[in-house]
Structures are given as structure tokens and as C-alpha cells.
Amino acid sequence: MTAWYEPALEAGLLPDWAIRLGIRTILEQRLREQQDGGPDAQQARKLAFIESLRRSPFRFRFESRVYAANYVKSIFPLRIKAA
């Protein structure tokens, strides 16, 4: 199912400010979702994401464990603080 704005977006009819506003809104929503539930829930989401990468039909080739760790940190930028 396509969103109501997709035809206008694909046709290049939306102004840049509207696209940026939409991106910011989506990013704010994602950050709120990542912060929900406290440290335990954040850790559980991170581990579930890592497991989904392992089970993915696409294989991610990382040259080192450091690179892999940095990739996960870029997806989950929030630091989990002890309560």
C-alpha cells in the first residue's frame, strides 16, 4: 500500500522544505521509539536488531569487529545508562 504523498514525491512535485520536514518528523518518531521503555527495553531492541541481521538473507561483510560495532552504534546511537 502506498502512502498518499508517494506519487507527488516520486514526480518531484514536493518542495524541499516539505521533504525535509517529513524526514525530521520520521526521525523524531524513531528516536522516541528507541527511548521508550528504559534501558532494558532499549537493550532488548538492540539485541533483536542484531539477531535480525544474523538471520537476514543478506550477509553483511564487515572487515573487523570494530566496524561491525560502529555500524550497530550508528543505528542505535543512544547510550544505555545504568539505573
pLDDT tens for each residue of 6-28: 888 888 888 999 999 989 999 99
Q: Is 0.85 topped by the overall pTM?
A: no
Confidence of residue 51 (pLDDT cuts 50, 70, 90): confident
Residue 19 burial (CB count, 10 A): 12
End-to-end Cα separation, the chain, in angstroms: 42
For the chain, percent helix, then strand, then coil, each to nearest 5? 65, 0, 35
Check if the beta carbon of residue 39 is closer than 8 Å to that of residue 82. yes
pLDDT for 17 equals 92
